[in-house]
Amino acid sequence: MAPAGNRTRDGTGEVTAAEAALMLDTGQARAAGERVIAWAEALAAHTDHPGQLTVAYLTPAHRQASLELRQRMREAGFDEVLEDAVGNVVGRYRGREPDAPALVTGSHFDTVRDGGRYDGRLGVLLPIAVVAEYAARGARPRHTLEVVGFAEEEGLRFHSAFLASSALAGSFDFGLLERTDADGTRMDDLMRAHGLAPEAIAGGARDPSRVAAFVEVHIEQGPVLLERGLALGAVSSINGARRVMVRLRGVAGHAGTTPMAMRRDAGAAAAEVVLFVERRCASQPDLVGTVGMLAVPGGSTNVIPGACEFSLDVRAPQDAVRDAALEDILAEIAAVCERRGIACELEHTMNVPAAPCHPELRAQWRAAIEATGQAPIELPSGAGHDAMKMAEIAPIGMLFVRCGAGGISHNPLETITAEDAGAAAGAFAAFVARFRAPAR
Ligand SMILES: [Zn+2]
């Protein structure tokens, strides 16, 4: 990266002095990246189970992680640091125009069981490192920058995924407070025991007119950037998912005595469908379909499968693309069953709409990536993120950072390099420097 002051903006003119003060040069970005890696390592010392990284909502390790994040924010020079009613860690760094709505960023700091140290946490630590740079040089962004460490996204303890971001979005499900964990602890009691105030959750919902945008930095959790040899990518859309459980019923029969032409084999019918799912979903870019569960209940070696059950998971950046694929798959299931004399029962278990990133924020992320010297590319997110919830109240944008180790995530092998973290810090600073609230 060249010194920030020499950069031109999209070839159309000089970067303003105020913008230049918010950019990081190569050395500063690299140092920020190294700081993020060290912080992630330190944060990973807090775990529910020694020997692995597991941090579930409001466990002692979770409380320690929360304290550590607040401490980092204070040391970085945030103007205000607090914990909200659900346990989110919130840091505010005042902008030059205090009346302008805030640019909100952040991600989650809880983990899955035996998870990785960057999933979610990168999106909290990276903005803290950039604010530390700003505070050290007295630089102020135009909009107040608010960094949120979401207390709960993975749903490990209460099966309550997106608990924390739903509180900010004003769509918190208050029925969850009655839910108990595996040890029978009620969420409401647990929150109170840690000094949180469930009755104040509704008041913590953000006024959409006070949020200019929500942006999230996250590891890709996949192999696309790694394969392409690129550190950063702008996210085009968070894929929506539809899931269906399919139960096929044929006729069980003797594997030795029933001639092939006289069988109603539910397993063979399912096999046809699995291959159709693969073919249909491979026919369009960014469409993915998976049969992740496939079982012959009560099956045995010498019996023709009388029943077969399988799951379907179809995702795409556009709901219409996904729905058309699912429609074709269901039509194929009907045709296969008809031809083979099989009965079929469908249970639709999930329908989450895609959350497209705002076109103006996508363009701003592409420009920010370009400012680090990398070619700008876009990719959809196959996994769900806090930004999906925040999309209910604000335009969203996301930056993906390359994962090493084949792109593995939700796994202790999950890794990123300090160099890539540095590139992400440079891109984040460039994004903040040139941020313009998108039209809505
Ligand atoms: Zn995550």
**Can you give the pLDDT of all 440 residues of the chain as single tens digits?**
444 444 444 444 467 999 999 999 999 999 999 999 999 999 999 999 999 999 999 999 999 999 999 999 999 999 999 999 999 999 999 999 989 999 999 999 999 999 999 999 999 999 999 999 999 999 999 999 999 999 999 889 998 889 999 999 999 999 999 999 999 999 999 999 999 999 999 999 999 999 999 999 999 999 999 999 999 999 999 998 999 999 999 999 999 999 999 999 999 999 999 999 999 999 999 999 999 999 999 999 999 999 999 999 999 999 999 999 999 999 999 999 999 999 999 999 888 899 999 999 999 999 999 999 999 999 999 888 999 999 999 999 999 999 998 888 888 888 999 999 999 999 999 999 999 999 98
Whether 307 and 250 have beta carbons less than 8 Å apart is answered as: yes
Chosen domain end from 333, 352, 371 = 352
pLDDT tens column, 165-190: 999 999 999 999 999 999 999 999 99
Task: Output the domain CATH number for residue 67.
Answer: 3.40.630.10
User: Do 329 and 370 have their domain in common?
Assistant: no
168 CB burial (10 A radius; 0-12, 13-18, 19+):
buried
For residue 186, the cross-strand partners are 180
Going by C-beta distance under 8 Å and a sequence separation of 6 or more, which residues neighbour residue 327? Answer: none
Tokens 């994962």 — which residue? 403
DSSP sequence for 270-292: HHHHHHHHHHHHHTSTT-EEE--
What's the 84 CA to ligand 1 centre distance in angstroms? 20
Cα distances from 415 to residues 52, 142, 333, 355, 398, in angstroms, run 15, 33, 40, 26, 19
Per-residue model confidence (pLDDT) at position 14: 66
Residue 120 lies in a domain: yes
For residue 254, the cross-strand partners are 303
To which H or E segment does residue 45 belong? none
Residue 440 lies in a domain: no
Domains in the chain, number: 2
What's the 361 CA to ligand 1 centre distance in angstroms? 20
Q: Which domain holds residue 197?
A: 4-238+354-434
> What is the distance between the alpha carbons of residues 440 and 396, in angstroms, rounded to a whole number?
11
Residue 85 lies in a domain: yes
Per-residue model confidence (pLDDT) at position 210: 97
* Pairing mode of beta strands 211-219, 396-401: parallel
Tokens 């990785």 — which residue? 116
**Two tokens, residue 291:** 């049969």
What's the 149 CA to ligand 1 centre distance in angstroms? 11
Q: Which amino acid is at 41?
A: E
Whether 316 and 288 have beta carbons less than 8 Å apart is answered as: yes
What's the 164 CA to ligand 1 centre distance in angstroms? 13
**Two tokens, residue 352:** 């989450």
Per-residue model confidence (pLDDT) at position 15: 79
What's the 218 CA to ligand 1 centre distance in angstroms? 7
- CA nearest 375: which of 236, 233, 235, 216? 233
User: Do 287 and 197 have their domain in common?
Assistant: no
What's the 221 CA to ligand 1 centre distance in angstroms? 8
Chosen domain end from 319, 352, 385 = 352
> For ligand 1, a single-atom ion, which residues have Cβ within 5 Å?
119-120
Residue 37 lies in a domain: yes
Chosen domain end from 326, 352, 378 = 352
What's the 235 CA to ligand 1 centre distance in angstroms? 14
User: Do 304 and 167 have their domain in common?
Assistant: no
Per-residue model confidence (pLDDT) at position 412: 87
User: Do 102 and 221 have their domain in common?
Assistant: yes
Residue 216 lies in a domain: yes
What's the 355 CA to ligand 1 centre distance in angstroms? 15
Per-residue model confidence (pLDDT) at position 98: 83
Residue 246 lies in a domain: yes
Give the CA dihedral 426, 430, 433, 434, nearest 10 degrees. Answer: -170
Q: Which amino acid is at 323?
A: D
Whether 272 and 336 have beta carbons less than 8 Å apart is answered as: yes
Per-residue model confidence (pLDDT) at position 4: 44
What's the 121 CA to ligand 1 centre distance in angstroms? 8
User: Do 252 and 300 have their domain in common?
Assistant: yes
Per-residue model confidence (pLDDT) at position 132: 98
Whether 210 and 102 have beta carbons less than 8 Å apart is answered as: yes
Per-residue model confidence (pLDDT) at position 125: 98
User: Do 252 and 209 have their domain in common?
Assistant: no
How far does Cα 414 stand from its chain's mean position?
Answer: 15
User: What is the pTM (predicted TM-score) of this model?
Assistant: 0.87
Residue 351 phi/psi, 5-degree rounding, is: -145, 90
What's the 257 CA to ligand 1 centre distance in angstroms? 53
To which H or E segment does residue 343 belong? strand 343-352
